[in-house]
């Protein structure tokens, strides 16, 4: 099973109290999809991914489309496929989701920065007024 990406808070992080509002799929990725004992309900996951597919920009849409295609491949695997191959296909589902979540986080941070609320710490360039 693919480990959690470093940009996501851990499953017990306090950051999820507010982040869950704009990153529900990230919360699911951390709390359920990363749990090896989670029963993989791929049809449910496909419905959820299709919900997130609505009204997305091009890079985000491509990442969700990649995750959906991988989830369909996983769902349609033959019962005789080896566990190793099954895990490789599952990891490709997680890769697409992780790419989408990264793009979502970047868009969120840009929006927060543009609103002047907070965001990434940016050091002024030499000669730039702070």
Place of tokens 């965001």: 119
Among 18-27, 38-47, 99-108, the minimum mean pLDDT is found in 18-27
Query: pTM value?
Result: 0.80
* Residue 2 within any structural domain of the chain: no
Q: How confident is the model at residue 72 (pLDDT cuts 50, 70, 90)?
A: very high
Q: Which domain covers residue 88, as residue numbers? A: 40-115
pLDDT number for residue 15: 86
* Residue 45 within any structural domain of the chain: yes
* Residue 64 within any structural domain of the chain: yes
Question: Does an H or E element contain 42, and which?
Answer: helix 42-53
DSSP summary character for residue 31: I
Average pLDDT of the residues in 100-120: 80
Q: Which residues contact 113 (CB under 8 A, 6 or more apart)?
A: 119, 120, 122
Buried residues in 75-84 as b, exposed as e (16+ CB within 10 A): eeeeeeeeee
> Rounded to an integer, what distance in angstroms lies between the CA atom of residue 75 and that of residue 116?
44
Average pLDDT of the residues in 28-44: 91
> Rounded to an integer, what distance in angstroms lies between the CA atom of residue 46 and that of residue 67?
9
Going by C-alpha positions, the residue among 43, 8, 14 that lies closest to residue 28 is 8
Q: Is the pLDDT of residue 119 over 60?
A: no
- Residue 48 in contact with residue 91, Cβ under 8 Å? no
* Residue 55 within any structural domain of the chain: yes
Q: How confident is the model at residue 11 (pLDDT cuts 50, 70, 90)?
A: confident
* Residue 59 within any structural domain of the chain: yes
Q: Which residue has the higher pLDDT, 90 or 112?
A: 90
Q: Is the pLDDT of residue 46 over 70?
A: yes
The count of domains in the chain is 1
- Residue 71 in contact with residue 45, Cβ under 8 Å? yes
């Amino acid at each position: 099973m693919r480990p959690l990406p470093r940009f996501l808070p851990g499953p017990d992080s306090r950051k999820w109290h507010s982040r869950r509002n704009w990153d529900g799929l990230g919360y699911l990725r951390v709390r359920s999809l990363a749990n090896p004992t989670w029963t993989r309900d791929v049809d449910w996951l496909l419905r959820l991914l299709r919900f997130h597919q609505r009204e997305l920009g091009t890079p985000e849409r491509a990442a969700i489309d990649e995750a959906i295609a991988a989830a369909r491949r996983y769902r349609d695997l033959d019962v005789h496929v080896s566990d190793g191959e099954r895990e490789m296909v599952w990891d490709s589902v997680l890769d697409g989701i992780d790419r989408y979540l990264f793009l979502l986080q970047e868009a969120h941070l840009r929006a927060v920065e543009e609103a002047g609320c907070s965001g990434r710490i940016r050091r002024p360039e030499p000669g730039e007024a702070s």
